[in-house]
Structures are given as C-alpha cells and as structure tokens.
Amino acid sequence: TGCGNTVNGNHPVVRDFILHCLRYWVLDLRVDGFRFDLATILARGRDGELLANPPVIEQIADDPVLRGVKIIAEAWDAAGAYQVGSFPNARWSEWNGKYRDDVRDFWRGAATLSTFATRLCGSPDLYDRPRQTPLKSVNYIASHDGFTIADLVSYAEKHNLANCEDNRDGDNHNHSDNCGTEGPTDDPAIRARRLRRQKNLMATLFLSQGVPMLLGGDEFGRTQQGNNNAYCQDNEISWMDWSLAETNAELLRFFRGIIRFRAENPGLRRKTFFRGDGPDGPDLAWRGPDGGPPRWEDGANTLACLLHPRENAGTAVFMIFNATADPVAFRLPEGGWRKRVDTGAEAPLDYAEGDNAPEVREEILMAPRSLGVLTRGEG
C-alpha cells in the first residue's frame, strides 16, 4: 500500500470479515456511506496483481444491506495503480484526482481550455459510459492529504521540516502557486490575489457537474503553514483554528453564497451528461469573449458557457472564466441578466442574491483572474 503491509482483501475469509464490518456499521451504527482509502488495494489479488473483477469490490456493491449507502473509492494506491475513471465497478463513486489537478492548473495558467471544460462538465472523458452519471465523480480541490486551499495559493513548495524528515515526505507535485511571494505576507496586492484565487477555486467546484467535496476549514482559510503532510503534527499546524471564521468572514460569506447558489439551481446537479443539442438550442453552449466559439487550442485562458433554461427550471445561467492577467470584456447572450457572482469585485459585490443582483446587458468586463456568474429568468 505504501503505508505498510496489507491483507489480501479478496481472500474468502478476509472478504467475509470486511462485509461483516460494513454491515454492522450500517445496521447498528446507522452509517450512511463509506469512503475507502487507497481503495485500489481491494482490486489486487493474492500476489498483488490487479484483478479485472475483484470479488470484494463486487460484493460490496451488490450486498443487499449496502446497496442503499454511498460507496466512494479513492481510486488509487501507493503501489502505483491509478484507476480514476476505471475503478472496476459501476456502483462505486470515485474521488476525481484529475479534477483536482486540472482545476488547480487552470487557475494558475497551466491547463488547456478543453481539459478545464471537460472537468466542469463532470469529466465525461472518464465517466460517460453505460450505467454511469456525472455523480460518479466526487470533485474536490483539497482533501486531508496535501495543501489546504489557503496554502495552495500561498506556497509554491511544501514546507514539511517540522515533520523531521528533512522535507522529503509529502507530495512534490502540488499544482500550487504562491501568487507572488512564498508564505505569509502583508502585501495588500498579494493578499487580494490570494483571496480571489480561493474564491475562483471554490466557485468552480460548486459550478461543476458531479458531487462537490469541501475540506473542512477551507471555507474560512485554514492554513497548515505550507505543510502538505501534517498527519503527524498534533499542534497549531494541524489544529482547526475556528477564529479564522471571523478573521476571514468575507471568504466564509462567499462560500455560503456559492453553496446556496448551487442548491437553488438544479441544472448544476444533473444526473445525465450534456449532449450539446436540443429541440430549442443546446443544453450547454460554449462561448469565447466575443460571443463566438472559444479558441480551444491556442493557449487562451478565457471561457464562457451558457446553461439552457430548460436544463435549470427555467433560469438560464451564464458562467465566465477569465484566468488571464488582463481584464477581458465578454459579450452576453441576448436579454437582461443579473450578476450573481463576480470574484473580481470586492465584498459584498462578489456575491448577490437574485433580486438584489445588479442588472447587466450586452457586455461585462471581467477583472484579471476572475470568475463571474449571471442568471436570466425565462418568464
């Protein structure tokens, strides 16, 4: 496993023991679901070989007691197997590590538009196949392993010296960006850039198809001081500092707003993949800043998309992503729009409720490295 020896999960005795434990947790303790750490070890046989149809994985999926609970795989192990998009059972959801890396990269200018758009749509390249839906993908930006989101925008390198392993432990591939200086700073421009980047990342998460997963504390800027492997630190590095909810109240307010926006718009929680067509227009239409098709392959970092009102209970949603270092004007589709989200604006104008949102027509100027969302009702 990379974490010490493991047992053969597909041995009949071990398999029965695993199923017995899971049933006990569901029936007696009323557990609603399970996330399996390094779940790919359950796909290995007696000699460590990967099995095409691992018995224990299939039994967990089909067990009558477990059939109604959530089952989520961390679809890799530390021995080199990576099964995101290919975990061997349709019933299991997957932590989408590719979503994490590609969204991080887009906002630091290192991912292509087409890759970012694919992640926004629920990763159909990985999951659009028989018996699968966008809900297969558990999307996240940060988890208990690696940087918190606040550290993701504050550190270009890991800082694990407190772990007493000479900074050798922890992942070296963090897809992070310190926004201009390493670690804490009093520079107001860098602090503003970091705050905007956090809003961009979290807004992207809650605008994406699939199941969003939020690391506790990211909603108010929790930091591990650049440590990306803090499991061994029982101190201020790993503790939850609840006072940050007051210190970073602007960030917390924005997070609450974007979560509420997702809850109010069923088109962001689809159970089918977009098909790009429809009797009265495409379900999702991609646009560039000029209102025409995006420039997919020429290095542009600007993108917009229109969610058709029929997909969202009669409300059209127009999403704008500007990952460039320059302000960009975006032409809006016809009609009157209300600006619900603008990470380039200072609070409280970064998020607005429906009738309180400012009206916009024809064009909107998006600040550098910012995200916007507009809505338009249909009668």
Query: Is 340:373 a contact under the CB 8 Å cutoff?
Result: yes
Cα separation, 56 vs 191, in Å, equals: 49
Burial 299-315 (b: 16+ CB within 10 A, else e): ebbbbbbbbbbbbbeeb
Q: Can you state the percent helix, strand and coil of the chain, rounding each to 5? A: 30, 15, 55
H or E stretch at 119: helix 113-120
Concerning whether 165 is annotated as a catalytic residue, the answer is no
Cα separation, 172 vs 228, in Å, equals: 9
Is the peptide bond preceding residue 348 cis, with omega within 30 degrees of 0? yes
Active-site hit among 37, 145, 157, 250: 37
Concerning whether 311 is annotated as a catalytic residue, the answer is no
**Count of helix runs (H) and strand runs (E) in the chain:** 9, 13
Active-site hit among 49, 62, 74, 298: 74
Say how many Å lie between the first and final Cα of the chain, rounded: 56
Query: Is 23:59 a contact under the CB 8 Å cutoff?
Result: no
Active site residues: 37, 74
